[in-house]
Structure 1
C-alpha cells in the first residue's frame, strides 16, 4: 500500500522537482529516508504483526508529509518562475496581451494561488491533511499561471515590441517638442533683441 502510493504519487512529484532544480530539499530527503527506514523495519528480525502495523502507520504518516513537502517545493519553484517573468516584463504593458484578457486572468490566478499557500501554512500545524489539499490547490493554480504565460509567449513578445515602439515614438515627439521650443525661444529672443536695438539712439 505505502510503496504503491510512493510509486504512483511521490515519484512523479520528486521527478518533477529534480527536473526543475536538479536537487531535492534536505527536509524532503530526510522524510524519504525515514519512510524507507520504517518499511525496512517490517522486514528485519521477524517482527510480530503489531510491530509491523505500527511501522506501517508511521510510514504512512511520512507518505503524507513527503507529499506535502513535494507540493511545497514545487510551489516555490513555480512562484520563482512567475516572479522571474514579472521581472522580465516589468517595462512591458501586459494589459495589451490577448486583447486585454491576459493580465486580469494572470493576476486572478496568481492571487488565488497565493491565498491557497497562505491558508495551507496556517493549517499545517493543526491539520496536515487539510494543508496538503491546500498546497495541492496552490500548485494547480500556479501551474495554470505558468501555462497561461507559455500560451501567451508570442503575444508577450508582440507587447514588448509595441511597448518599446510606443516609448520610442513618445521620446521622439518629446525631443521634437524640445527642439521646436528652443527654436521658438531663440526666434523670440532674436526678435526681442532686434526691437530693443532699434529703440536705442
Structure 2
C-alpha cells in the first residue's frame, strides 16, 4: 500500500514500474478536485474483501454485494458532483503538464525554505535531499504553539495554513514534534512569489514580535 495523498498530481506515479499493488490518494490536493473525493488503485495481484455493503444501482436482483469492480467497493450513491469536479482537475493537469506544475511549486517551496531558514526562532522541517521535497513545508516558532501561530496567520494576515499533527502522529514522533505538531505551508500552482514573500514577512513579524 502506497499513500500518495501528498504526491498524486505532483509527481509521476507508475504503478507498473514501481510494482505498486495498492495506491491510495485524495482528490482535493494535488489533483485539484473537490473535497470528498479519493481513489484507491487495486492491482491485479491483490484480492480484497469489501468492508461495507449496500445498494450500488446495479445487480439489484442480488441480495449480496456485487463481485465485479468497481461496484464491489462502491456501495451507496456515488458522489457524482465530486467525481465530475475531480475529472475537471485531472484534465487541467493533463493540459498544463505535471512537470510544469511541479517546477512552479518547487520554485515556491525553495523560496519558502530559504526565507524561513533566515527567520530567528524558527525551526524548519524538510527533506535532506531538496529534489525529493514535496511542495509542503512544516515549521515551528520556538516557544510558540503551532495552533496560535496558525490562528494569527489566518486572522491577522489572511494566510491559510494547517497546524497540528496532520493525520501523521508517527511522523511527528520521528521529527520530535509530537504532540504539539507543526505549522504546515503548502505552496500551490496558483500561488505567486509575491504571496510567498508576504507569508515570510508575516512569519518574521510574528517571530520577531515575541507575542507568543
Q: TM-score range by the shorter chain?
A: under 0.3
User: Higher strand fraction: Structure 1 or Structure 2?
Assistant: 2
Give the alignment's TM-score, normalised by structure 2.
Answer: 0.23
User: Higher helix fraction: Structure 1 or Structure 2?
Assistant: 1
Q: Which has the greater radius of gyration? A: 1
Give the alignment's TM-score, normalised by structure 1.
Answer: 0.24
